[in-house]
Structure 1
Amino acid sequence: MPVSVFYEQLIKQGEIQEHEVSYATINRLLKKHSMAGRNHISFHSEKERKRFAYDKVNVLWQADLSHGPYISINGKMKKTFLIAYIDDCSRLVPYAQFFTSEKFDGLREVTREALIRRGKPSIIYADNGKIYRSETLQHACAQLGITLAHTQPYNPKAKGYV
């Protein structure tokens, strides 16, 4: 429900007087108590989230791809992408590298280097990006005895270390 409609209903029902309480005050109070966002009221509270972390190194690695800076290559500006793993327990980065594309070749290289440098995790936890859903990664993880787990779709708060 738009905050403006809610404000008008409060006035109409006699709960507040227009000259005593402004729209901005109602909007600010609703936002302060996490009941409004983008000028709409939400009567549904967000699902409670609890932190989790494994107590041993190499149990779970989170994988992620982040957008990096633009760099000049042969006089042309190219976007970069950081592909990284981070250990859930120690927060150590087994390996991370910037690439100029977000294709599977970069993930293959980062995965190989991370495994060589830090050993094998029990679980790799990734979002639903195309490179993390590839059959090649699923097959490689299965061959190595690594569980490949994915976040729920459209749930960016389920991750967030990288």
Structure 2
Amino acid sequence: MAKKNVAAPSINIGINDKDRKKIADGLSKLLADTYTLYLKTHNFHWNVTGPMFNTLHLMFEGQYNELALAVDLIAERIRALGYPAPGSYKEFAKLSSIPEADGVPNAQEMIAQLVAGQEAVTRTARSIFPTVDAAADEPTADLLTQRMQLHEKNAWMLRSLLEG
């Protein structure tokens, strides 16, 4: 018996198509920033040297592991809104606000770049909030709140290493 092609039902979650698209586009930028920061943090974990090696190596590992989990949550939210999640370096490079590292910076520069990256992810998450709030998209608001809280804390902890 031939299999019938059945059209997927339209999405009716209480958020109109225009707002779902706008939110998914914002989350795609957040995903790109998060993945780019993940890659940068993992790179720095592998390549850090100097007197703070052990501290930074472990700190960076904790941060990149958390970022690896976060990209999945963000991508799944984009899918729940009915859109494909970006998933290539080419797409991420177009969407991300975080520059890649050139070469292997010293430990202090690594920390400074990661502070900037953590803050960039926070700004990207915050920029989506007006649309999310207007659409009463509580699941995305919850995700964004958790992401901002974590990235602000990480930026503070990294920034503290540069003081004094």
Q: TM-score, normalised by structure 1?
A: 0.24
The structure whose RCO (Cα within 8 Å, separation 6+) is larger is: 2
Bigger strand fraction: 1
Bigger helix fraction: 2
Greater radius of gyration (CA): 1
